[in-house]
Structure 1
Amino acid sequence: MLSDPGSVVGPWTWFILGGVLLVAEIAAPGAFLLWLGLAALVTGALSYVVGLSWQSEVLAFAALAVIAVLVGRRISPAPGRASDRPFLNRRPEGFVGRVFTLDEPIVDGIGLVRIDDTVWRIEGPDLAAGAEVKVVAADGATLKVEAAGG
């Protein structure tokens, strides 16, 4: 059943509002307008199928918006929650405290060390190839090292 043709709001108004809110979520992400946009789309669908008055449409949107935001908060990750991969996109920090063997010597405080499949720039005391070094800090893509075990 279609809504009252004299209705001020109507289903297409809700569909357009939902679309605008979803586009606004893309322009200014914050995962809040998404839920309001979905509530507006559902309100439009209800209005189209059931034929609600504009007052009922507004009340339905308000109720659906509250429900959508609560559901969204429940399924979205909490901002302060600990990650299961804390060094994702911070790989050098994951090497702090680990010990590696030098393939090449450190000369004038600068050297290279192979860690897994990557060669990292290191800074530390001059050491011969084959020496073990412990990573004590990470500065960008440069690892600060010291002689291990000494």
Structure 2
Amino acid sequence: MAEWLDTISTHWFWLSLGLFLILAELVARGRYLLWVGFAALIIGVADYFLPITLAYQVAMFVILSVLTVFTGKKLQG
């Protein structure tokens, strides 16, 4: 039914998710989506250069999201 999904590279998903979350931050104005968007962009770039399975991508995204949110909170004061 959705065979076309198999043809899309996962790095495009992560990059578009990251851009969407950063743009959504313009509307939400909570500074939370910004850091999660950066985490998605980092995973997208890493997936482009390294052969990473989807399970590792999701695990890295969760860990990186937590780290970027805590780092962002610390930097903002």
TM-score by length of 1: 0.45
Q: Percent identity?
A: 33
2:30 maps to 1:30: yes
The aligned residue for residue 74 of structure 1 is 74
Mapping 1:1-150, distance limit 5 Å: 6=6, 10-77=10-77
User: Which amino acid is 1:69 matched to?
Assistant: V
- Structure 1 consecutive aligned stretches of length 4 or more whose deviation exceeds 3 Å: 6-9
Measured against aligned partners, the alpha-carbon deviations of 1:90-135 in whole angstroms (never above 9, x if no partner) come to: xxxxxxxxxxxxxxxxxxxxxxxxxxxxxxxxxxxxxxxxxxxxxx
State the structure with bigger RCO (CA 8 A, min sep 6), 1 or 2. Answer: 2
Q: Which has the larger radius of gyration?
A: 1
For structure 2, the residue ranges without an aligned partner over 5 or more in a row are: 1-5
Query: 2 CA distance for matches of 1:25 and 1:59?
Result: 23
User: Which amino acid is 1:21 matched to?
Assistant: L
Higher helix residue share:
2
Query: 1 CA distance for matches of 2:38 and 2:32?
Result: 10
Query: 2 CA distance for matches of 1:8 and 1:53?
Result: 14
User: Which amino acid is 2:47 matched to?
Assistant: S
Whether contact under 8 Å (1:9, 1:54) holds in the other structure is no
For structure 1, the residue ranges without an aligned partner over 5 or more in a row are: 1-5, 78-150
Task: Count how many residue pairs are aligned between Structure 1 and Structure 2.
Answer: 72
